[in-house]
Structure 1
Amino acid sequence: MVDEKHCPTCRQLHLFRRVTPAEEAHIAREVGVAEARGFWRCTNPGCLWVQPYHVQKRGFALPKETFG
């Protein structure tokens, strides 16, 4: 499942997809297990932005060395 959202890193609309299990595990280490569910990632090539579905301000970029 994908959905179009504004990506603050790309500065335009892009498709977002649900994060993978590996991405979710990293997010859980950053924000806690309970908060990690429901994150989505921008699908623009090279973009590392993840965010909760409806809460862009709680988003952040995944580390390039791991997910780039």
Structure 2
Amino acid sequence: MDVRCPNCGGPLRRFRKLTRDEEAHVRRILEVADPGAYHRCTRTGCRRFQRWSNWREGGDFPEALAAG
């Protein structure tokens, strides 16, 4: 899915579903029951994750989880 990424700016970016480790991180830092409602940017070096239905709701993964 291509959506706006506030970290990357510019054109729409490709996002993908979260991995299990990423879901655990989102669940822990946002304290949400359904981390499956979030996806992440796939641009190399981007750490952005955001809600499927609202690009303004999200955050960044730590450097260790940067997209490669």
Task: Please indicate the TM-score interval, normalised by the length of the shorter structure.
Answer: 0.7 to 0.9
Shift in Å, 1:37: 2.3
What SS is found at the alignment partner of 2:56? helix
2:53 aligns to what SS in structure 1?
Answer: coil
Instruction: Normalising by structure 1, report the TM-score.
Output: 0.86
Letter in structure 1 aligned against 2:3 = K
Give the letter for the 1:10 counterpart.
C
Q: Which residue of 1 aligns with 2:47?
A: 48
1:32 lines up with 2:18 in the alignment = no
Which structure 2 segments of 5+ residues have no match?
none
Mapped partners of 2:36, 2:44: distance in 1: 23
Structure 1 residue runs without a partner (length 5+): none
Structure 1 residue runs of 4 or more that deviate by more than 4 Å after TM superposition: none
**TM-score when scaled to structure 2?**
0.86
Q: Which residue of 1 aligns with 2:65?
A: 67
Higher normalized contact order (CA 8 Å, seq sep 6+, divided by chain length)? 2
Task: Give the superposition deviation at 1:59.
Answer: 1.1
